[in-house]
Amino acid sequence: MYKNLTIDFSRTSIYLCPLRWKSTVKRIDKILIANRGEIACRIIRTAKKMGIKTVAVFSEADKNALHVALANEAYEIGPSPSSQSYLKGRTIIETAKKFNCQAVHPGYGFLSENVEFAEDCQKEGVIFIGPPASAIRDMGIKSTSKLIMSKAGVPIIEGYHGEDQSVDNLKNEARKIGFPVMIKAVRGGGGKGMRIARSEEDFEEALESARTESQKAFSDSVVLLEKFVEEPRHVEVQVFADAHGNVVHLYERDCSVQRRHQKIIEEAPAPGLSWEVRNELGAAAVRAAQAVGYLGAGTVEFILDRKAHNFYFMEMNTRLQVEHPITEMITGTDLVEWQIKVASGEELPVKQKDIPLRGHAFEARIYAEDPQGGFLPGAGPLEYLKTPLPSEDVRIETGVRQGDDVSVFYDPMIAKLVVWGNDRFEALSKLKVKLLEYNIAGLETNINFLLDLANHGEFEAGNVHTNFIKDHEDTLFKNVALNEVQLIQAATSIVLLDKLDELKVASFKNDSFNPFTVEANFRVNYHHIRNIQLQFDDKEYNIKIKFLNKQGEYEVSCDNGITWTQVSANLDTKNNENVLVSSINGHRSRINVFRNSDILAVFDKNGKTQFVIPHITYSTEDDALASSSGNKAVAPMPGILDKLLVKVGDKVKKGDSLFVLIAMKMEYVVKATRDATISNISFNIGDSVLKDAAVIQFDEAEESA
């Protein structure tokens, strides 16, 4: 009865019709997810779509996490540090067997590229949803991978990949290569264990830092050296292979814009590439996968000359990448479903010629971090969280909800905002709009920075490279100046939020008609004036608001009553928003606002502006002296005190290293800001340290020396 049925594929959404298989070779109906956060939630979503049950594992810090709530079952595997929980391979395999899981999905990070874990899964009869251990081993050791790639005809950058890891030999090899050189952990990834030595004088400190970070992250301190290519582009190709000899690529992603050698915004396909270069990249990536007998999802990363478009193999990530959603958006695929099906023994559903490239996609990584403070990571509760509405061309990949904590123990990524458009211009326009709709308060994020980046003329033109942020520091990190409209909106918001609180109290007390409760600022035959005090960027502002009537009409002065501005305003409260609807000098606008006891956050066309609500505080003379004289070295972000490089009584010079913090799996060295003598150390190695905590005190006598 359906033989005359036709389908117009031009009208079929590529997002609603992912490519599928006909049957399953090995039955997988239950998966343990050996990960946390957004990637665990992402895997659960696809598993549910496929009718597969999921088991989540969680640490003590994650007992109330979103991935735990979404899974069919969950099991606690240890304390908060990842070394005692998410990296305990034997415990995870035992848990998988205990819950009768046929397979383990490692996500990315943690055990996803751990050779021993993949081997142990195979020994225990648990399917590892990833490549064979041999491929992980070959590609995980960068020196080995480059030899294999060279034999496979994949272009590589020359460097030192030898076994002699003595400092003298490495320094000598660096001289041969020529500075600047890149020092990279052979088992590294995600920017960890990676440092640039720009001169011979910098080399030993950079080497020690790279080794220490690599040892902590990968239990291996071996490094390789490469010539550092200034201003390259970072372009990577998504590959997929099955157990039947089929290997395909799903085009490339450009991940050039980075901070701390970590990606911050990605797009697919890479802007400005010809189809000739695109096909050459794809073919080289397929050769790379074939050379190691690959299986499943992998990413081959290349350094691309930004002008000539010559490319060189950098490394292969033998796992699903953080940025895989943009590939899914331009190809209409579900790569997690592909992973599960290939792991069960299925063939890939398509040949290379059948994989479409449609439109353009961006992914912006939303982090708890301070771009103005060197992108130092943050931690704490998400007191307020409002996201854009998901749709066919907008995805919110996250593992947190409002009220959840961003933990000091793990990566500070809050979410990934993914958008698709018919072309790059349309996709970028959507990204800008949706970033404005992503409202977070309670801790610092990089959303404003992402907005500035997306609106930068050179980024809009597609002129991206790995040095982009540094080259455009002056325009990306400009000082923010408040205007009068923002001050008026902020002050008016406080008045209306106070009124809303009064109404809530009155309703609770069943006293909604008492004018002394609900009309606190209204006076008969008198225009009450209220002073609102706010702080922004350490500057105090005093705004006067004159209440004209009960219909929301005011006069507002930002110059101590010299001039007044006519304002009408009301608060539109619904769902999780308090929207200030205001008319200022005839200009009508709608902005979202959030307030707690300490801050007021205003979300407008410029992003977030956060004010501090002043409180009366008291301090001792000693406190004032310590904070004003620079007699202490403080933690720039919350973290774990990993090393103390000085002791009480030591004399230090300006620039000397004092202590090392570990935060979000990254190492940070805090240095002296002046010549001083160490008078006190307030913490011990291994202690958790809050942001701005005074770790080391200096002798005051040195101040005048």
Whether the pLDDT of residue 616 is over 70: the answer is: no
Residues 200 and 300 in one domain: no
Residues 666 and 554 in one domain: no
Q: Can you tell me which residue has the tokens 């802007």?
A: 271
CB atoms inside a 10 Å sphere around CB 389: 8
Whole-angstrom distance, CA of residue 113 vs CA of residue 127: 15
pLDDT-derived band at 480, boundaries 50, 70, 90? confident
Identify the weakest region by mean pLDDT among 180-184, 589-593, 630-634, 664-668: 664-668
Q: What local confidence, expressed as pLDDT, does residue 116 receive?
A: 97
Maximum Cα–Cα distance across the chain: 96
User: What proportion of the chain, given as a percentage, has pLDDT over 70?
Assistant: 90
Q: Which residue has the higher pLDDT, 642 or 441?
A: 441
For residue 587, give every residue at least 6 positions away whose Cβ sits within 8 Å of its Cβ, in sequence order, or none. Answer: 485
pLDDT-derived band at 2, boundaries 50, 70, 90? very low
Q: Can you tell me which residue has the tokens 């407008």?
A: 604
| Mean of pLDDT values over 670-692 | 89
Q: What local confidence, expressed as pLDDT, does residue 20 receive?
A: 39
Residues 171 and 280 in one domain: no
* Number of domains comprising the chain: 5
Chosen domain end from 595, 612, 629: 612
Identify the weakest region by mean pLDDT among 1-10, 193-202, 248-257, 295-304: 1-10
pLDDT-derived band at 519, boundaries 50, 70, 90? low
What are the distances in angstroms from CA 154 to CA 173, 270, 670? 24, 20, 41
Whether the pLDDT of residue 625 is over 60: the answer is: no
Whether the pLDDT of residue 619 is over 60: the answer is: no
Residue at 7 is within a domain: no
pLDDT winner (highest mean) among 30-44, 370-384, 679-693: 30-44
Whole-angstrom distance, CA of residue 453 vs CA of residue 437: 16
CATH code at position 689? 2.40.50.100
Residues 576 and 597 in one domain: yes
Q: What local confidence, expressed as pLDDT, does residue 35 receive?
A: 98
Chosen domain end from 572, 590, 612: 612
Q: What local confidence, expressed as pLDDT, does residue 667 receive?
A: 76
Residue at 143 is within a domain: no
Residues 210 and 239 in one domain: no
CATH code at position 316? 3.30.470.20
> What is the domain extent for residue 642?
621-704
Q: Which residue has the higher pLDDT, 61 or 635?
A: 61
Whole-angstrom distance, CA of residue 34 vs CA of residue 574: 38
| Mean of pLDDT values over 490-503 | 92
Identity of the residue numbered 655: G
- 500 — alpha (psi -120 to 50), left (phi > 0) or beta? alpha
pTM (2 d.p.): 0.81
Residue at 522 is within a domain: yes
For residues 136-146, one letter each, b for 16 or more C-beta atoms within 10 angstroms of the residue's C-beta and e for the rest, the string is bbbbbbbbebb
Whether the pLDDT of residue 16 is over 60: the answer is: no
Chosen domain end from 580, 612, 644: 612
- Is-contact 31 101, C-beta < 8 A? yes
Compute the mean pLDDT over every residue in the chain, rounded to the nearest whole number: 89
Q: What local confidence, expressed as pLDDT, does residue 51 receive?
A: 97
Whole-angstrom distance, CA of residue 376 vs CA of residue 393: 31
Q: What is the pLDDT of residues 114-137, one digit of tens each?
A: 999 999 999 999 999 999 999 999
Residue at 674 is within a domain: yes
CATH code at position 572? 3.30.700
CATH code at position 130? 3.40.50.20
| Mean of pLDDT values over 306-329 | 94
Residues 583 and 700 in one domain: no
pLDDT-derived band at 462, boundaries 50, 70, 90? very high
CATH code at position 167? 3.30.1490.20
| Mean of pLDDT values over 666-693 | 87
- Is-contact 427 359, C-beta < 8 A? yes
Look up residue 281 and give its two tokens: 């990249």
Residues 247 and 395 in one domain: yes
pLDDT-derived band at 8, boundaries 50, 70, 90? very low
DSSP H/E element including 423:
none
Residue at 15 is within a domain: no
Residues 392 and 530 in one domain: no
pLDDT-derived band at 394, boundaries 50, 70, 90? very high
Residues 183 and 297 in one domain: no
Residues 83 and 58 in one domain: yes
Residues in the chain: 705
| Mean of pLDDT values over 144-168 | 90
Whether the pLDDT of residue 704 is over 70: the answer is: no
Residue at 308 is within a domain: yes
Whether the pLDDT of residue 551 is over 80: the answer is: yes
Residues 280 and 212 in one domain: no
Instruction: Establish whether 588 is a catalytic residue.
Output: no
Residues 310 and 418 in one domain: yes
Residue at 48 is within a domain: yes
| Active-site position among 233, 319, 365, 424 | 319
Residue at 523 is within a domain: yes
**DSSP SS3 for 499:** helix
Whole-angstrom distance, CA of residue 306 vs CA of residue 311: 9
